[in-house]
Amino acid sequence: MTTINPYLTFDGNCEEAFNFYKGVFKKEFQYVGRFGEMPPAEGQEALSPEQANRIMHVSLPIDGESVLMGSDSMDESCGGGPFVKGTNITLSINSTETTEADRLYAALSTNGAQTMPMSQTFWGAYFGMLTDQFGIHWMINVDVNPHK
């Protein structure tokens, strides 16, 4: 099964926004992770306390299939790009099959830009990011280890 969910990016106020959404939808977070929890990339500068406390990923189930997801942006020193308000929505595809995820990634990235190739992640998923030829940002995820 494959589902598509909105993924929102914020400039440091993701936690505030998602606490608001939590109250609106009267739901509980499925996952909250901070940038300080991820292993440092080779050659990456150390995160400041403010950067380490930013939200790396949060997910808020809305119903049986819809999930509102989000994160804070990071600046170029941490591997991120500039934050541009109004372009901070990405579509996240969640699949149960890695072969389907690979197919979708290859098809959507045709004439586009592969931001992060599909690969295993430290949080237990098979994950990749791309921008399609029309400028739409996509994340593709398979929860290989859904209980992590």
pLDDT tens by residue, 42-70: 777 788 899 899 999 999 998 888 899 99
CB 108 within 8 A of CB 59: no
Overall pTM surpassing 0.75 (yes/no):
no
Using CB atoms within 10 A of its CB, is residue 33 exposed (0-12), middle (13-18) or buried (19+)? Answer: middle
Per-residue pLDDT reduced to its tens digit, 62-116: 888 889 999 998 765 445 566 666 667 889 998 999 999 999 999 999 999 999 9
Rounded distance between C-alpha atoms, residue 123 and residue 104, angstroms: 21
Looking at 3.40.605.10, 3.10.180.10, 3.40.50.11720, 3.50.50.60, the CATH number of the domain 96-148 comes to 3.10.180.10
The CATH number of 1-83 is 3.30.720.100
Highest-scoring range by mean pLDDT, 33-42, 95-104, 127-136: 95-104
Judge whether 1-83 and 96-148 match in fold.
no
